[in-house]
């Protein structure tokens, strides 16, 4: 049994928020929605929760059509990215509130509140008001309120985005462990690829209200179906070049290493490389070489993001970003050579469909794209 969405559309004031969504979410799995801001993640959750009525399609829960079921009759909990708690109630009262609405017996309320508070490590704060808590404790309170009612569906809409990095890491691990102990259908949305990879489970990629790809996050990272899917797993996005079957070498760019590639010889293509796969030194004899201007070296902790640009045929000036390990300074240098191993290249057709992925892992792309 599962939560199933069939041909789901959401159109409000002539604006399409969701289009032809067909998905299935199963209990016991940690389901992740990954997409940029305005990709449709919150809209999809609101339809599932009953806060929005779809323009078309069906929402089925365990074989029953709940599309028209009012929100108050759906056994759904939702946690938002903002810390939403009742400010005039104590933490204990906040957590107990959905149980009181459902007229659960007082002894059972006490047992479940204390058990959930212990799971989320907020037992010492049960008699405090939300404003007396830290941000992390406030969000734990909101999560506890969502978990305490044993809802059939639990929706987490970017719940950790407003917390500091270390707290997010610890809460993410705890959240997955807690939800795995339940039979609820858990759906978690995020804009960050590393979060989807860390959480594992089934990941659905959303882009402009449409499903790009659904499956294990690590598989999507290695085998994206198109450029949009690949870019969701890379920040900065993939560096790319449009190439024709003639493989004309532009000034400052040596494409000779691609000359024997039969896939590229079939017609126009887009080649792309991950920001961390561009080298400042040749790694093999077949590396693609580009002479570029240095625009900016941006140092972040122990990493360097190098912004470069170069002229490329009729496409004008292209901007690439390199992700380099360690701290690199280029204060006295204006130009440099970039090297891209042919084995690290993605190949996409002109519409962005993936034709080939890098040979970084020993898997066959056949049957994936």
* Domain co-membership, 40 together with 17: yes
* Domain co-membership, 52 together with 77: yes
* Domain co-membership, 141 together with 233: no
Q: What is the pLDDT of residue 247?
A: 54
Classify residue 72: in a domain, yes or no: yes
The domain boundary, picked from 206, 225, 244, lies at 225
* Domain co-membership, 265 together with 219: no
Q: What is the pLDDT of residue 188?
A: 95
- At 215, which CATH number? 3.40.50.300
Count how many domains the chain has.
2
* Domain co-membership, 198 together with 272: no
* Domain co-membership, 209 together with 246: no
Series of mean pLDDT values for 10-residue runs along the chain (369 residues): 94 96 92 96 97 97 95 90 89 95 93 91 95 90 90 92 80 81 90 91 96 96 95 94 66 68 75 94 83 93 93 84 93 90 90 84 37
Q: How far apart (Å, rounded) are the C-alpha atoms in residues 197 and 286?
A: 32
Classify residue 364: in a domain, yes or no: no
* Domain co-membership, 221 together with 120: yes
What burial letters (b/e) apply to 121-150, b meaning 16+ CB within 10 Å?
ebeebbeebbeebeebbbbbbbbbbbbbbe
Q: How far apart (Å, rounded) are the C-alpha atoms in residues 303 and 323?
A: 7
3-state secondary structure the chain: CCEEEEEEEEEECCEEEEEEEEEEECCCCEEEEECCCCCCHHHHHHHHHCCCCCCEEEEEECCEECCCCCHHHCCEEEECCCCCCCCCCCHHHHHHHHHHHCCCCHHHHHHHHHHHHHHCCCHHHCCCCHHHCCHHHHHHHHHHHHHHCCCCEEEEECCCCCCCHHHHHHHHHHHHHHHHCCCCEEEEEECCHHHHHHHCCEEEEEECCEEEEEEEHHHHHHCCCEHHHHHHCCCCCCEEEEECCCCCCCCCEECHHHCCCCCHHHCCEEEEECHHHCECCCCCCCCEEEEEEEEEEEEECCEEEEEEEEECHHHCEEEEEEEEECCCCCCCCCEEEEEECHHHCEEECCCCEEEECCCCCCCCCCCCC
* Domain co-membership, 234 together with 337: yes
* Domain co-membership, 159 together with 285: no
* Domain co-membership, 172 together with 240: no
Q: What is the pLDDT of residue 251?
A: 61
Classify residue 368: in a domain, yes or no: no
Q: What is the pLDDT of residue 360?
A: 44
* Domain co-membership, 242 together with 215: no
- Which tokens in the block code for residue 224? 């994206």
Classify residue 365: in a domain, yes or no: no
Classify residue 92: in a domain, yes or no: yes
* Domain co-membership, 219 together with 268: no
Classify residue 347: in a domain, yes or no: yes
Classify residue 338: in a domain, yes or no: yes
Compute φ and ψ for 118, nearest 5 degrees: -70, -40
The domain boundary, picked from 225, 243, 264, lies at 225
Name the residue range of residue 17's domain.
3-225
Q: How far apart (Å, rounded) are the C-alpha atoms in residues 43 and 143?
A: 20
Q: How far apart (Å, rounded) are the C-alpha atoms in residues 94 and 138?
A: 11
The domain boundary, picked from 225, 256, 284, lies at 225
Classify residue 362: in a domain, yes or no: no
């Amino acid at each position: 049994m599962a939560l199933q969405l069939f041909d789901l559309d959401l159109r409000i004031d002539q604006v399409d928020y969701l289009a032809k969504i067909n998905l299935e979410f199963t209990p016991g799995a940690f389901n992740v929605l990954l997409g940029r801001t305005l990709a449709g993640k919150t809209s999809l959750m609101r339809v599932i929760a009953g806060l929005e009525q779809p323009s078309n399609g069906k929402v089925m829960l365990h074989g029953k059509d709940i599309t028209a079921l009012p929100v108050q009759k759906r056994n759904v909990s939702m946690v938002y990215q903002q810390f939403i708690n009742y400010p005039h109630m104590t933490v204990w009262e906040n957590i107990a509130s959905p149980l009181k609405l459902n007229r659960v017996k007082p002894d059972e309320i006490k047992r479940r509140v204390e058990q959930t508070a212990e799971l989320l490590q907020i037992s010492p704060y049960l008699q405090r008001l939300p404003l007396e808590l830290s941000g992390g404790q406030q969000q734990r309170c909101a999560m506890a309120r969502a978990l305490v009612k044993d809802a059939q569906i639990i929706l987490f809409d970017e719940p950790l985005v407003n917390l500091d990095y270390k707290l997010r890491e610890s809460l993410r691990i705890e959240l997955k462990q807690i939800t795995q102990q339940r039979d609820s259908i858990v759906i978690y949305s995020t804009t960050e690829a590393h979060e989807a990879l860390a959480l594992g489970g089934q990941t659905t990629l959303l882009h402009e209200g449409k499903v790009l790809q659904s499956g294990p996050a690590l598989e999507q990272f290695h085998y994206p179906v198109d450029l949009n899917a690949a870019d969701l797993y890379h920040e900065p996005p993939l560096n790319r070049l449009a190439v024709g079957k003639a493989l004309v070498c532009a000034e400052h760019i040596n494409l000779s290493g691609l000359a024997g590639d039969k896939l590229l010889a079939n017609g126009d293509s887009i080649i792309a490389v991950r920001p961390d796969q561009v080298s400042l030194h040749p790694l093999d004899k077949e590396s693609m070489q580009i002479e570029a201007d240095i625009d900016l070296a941006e140092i972040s902790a122990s990493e360097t993001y190098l912004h470069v640009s170069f002229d490329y045929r009729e496409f004008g000036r292209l901007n690439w970003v390199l992700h380099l390990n360690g701290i690199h300074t280029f204060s006295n240098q204006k130009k440099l050579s970039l090297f891209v191993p042919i084995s690290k290249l993605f190949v996409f057709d002109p519409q962005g469909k993936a034709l080939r992925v890098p040979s970084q892992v020993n898997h066959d792309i056949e049957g994936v794209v």
